[in-house]
Amino acid sequence: METETKESFLSDFDRKLLNKEFALQFINRDLLKYIALVLMTLGHWALEIYAITRSKPFLQFSVAAQYFAPPVFFFFIAEGYHYTKSKSKYAIRLLIFAVITQIPHSMTQPGGLTLYNLFLQWSVLMTLFLGLVALIVLHCEWKLPLRILMIAALMGVSWLLNCEWAVSGIMIMLLFDFLREKPLLRLASYIVLMFAVISVTTGSYPDTGMFLTYLVPVWSAGIVITFFYNGKKGHFPLFSKYFFYVWYPLHLLLQWLFQIILG
């Protein structure tokens, strides 16, 4: 009887979250993306801001807060797959902006605009593109072994290109898609996956510093997506749509200019 009650409660809570009936779901899609963009920008500009302010607490906050952004981007790729009118146009648009972004992205990397940085150090936009292609493959009519093989190949490409979040980014997008109808299980699985990703990436069991720098912001993103996102568009969806694409390469170009100015 107790087990049935627990299952009923969890099922009812899942239903409320899916139907956007939970009282705390007040953040719309564009606002969540803007929050992610601001935190991402602060993280990318952290050293330049520190050169001006000399504020170590703000530097530490900026470095950590930027990790809130990628899971939000991954989530909206998984959601966008189901809502876009043309998956092919969506993928092409992501690829175009990934290529455009690669020049300013390379300019901000150690060593600057080298052939290595240009072709073997790709931004997270390429990961988003490969993740979207992985979702397209996942839902296509090919036989399951072939779909698994193709998704593994896409992960291999992301690893070979040294994309930001490479394999883990694609895994997160697939997870968000697999458990799209089960938000509580999705959050629990995401928390475990991120713990594993951070542990493997850093090569050690997360200590207090790693917990605060990496796990708190990425877990916070999952919590906000699950309990605070209301599934609605913002007030200016068309403007926001292209602003998000344009701001990524633009903020990297501005970062490079700041680096030049600050010497």
Task: Name the token pair of 241.
Answer: 């749509």
- Predicted confidence at residue 205, as pLDDT, reads 78
Q: 208-214: long-range contacts (C-beta < 8 A, 24 or more apart)?
A: 212/64, 213/60, 213/63, 213/64, 213/67, 214/64, 214/67
- Predicted confidence at residue 1, as pLDDT, reads 42
Task: Express each pLDDT in 3-46 by its tens digit.
Answer: 454 457 668 888 889 888 888 999 999 999 999 999 999 999 99
| Residue stretches of the chain with pLDDT short of 50 | 1-3, 5-6
Q: How far is CA 224 from the centre of its chain?
A: 13
- Predicted confidence at residue 3, as pLDDT, reads 47
pTM across the whole model: 0.92
- Predicted confidence at residue 2, as pLDDT, reads 46
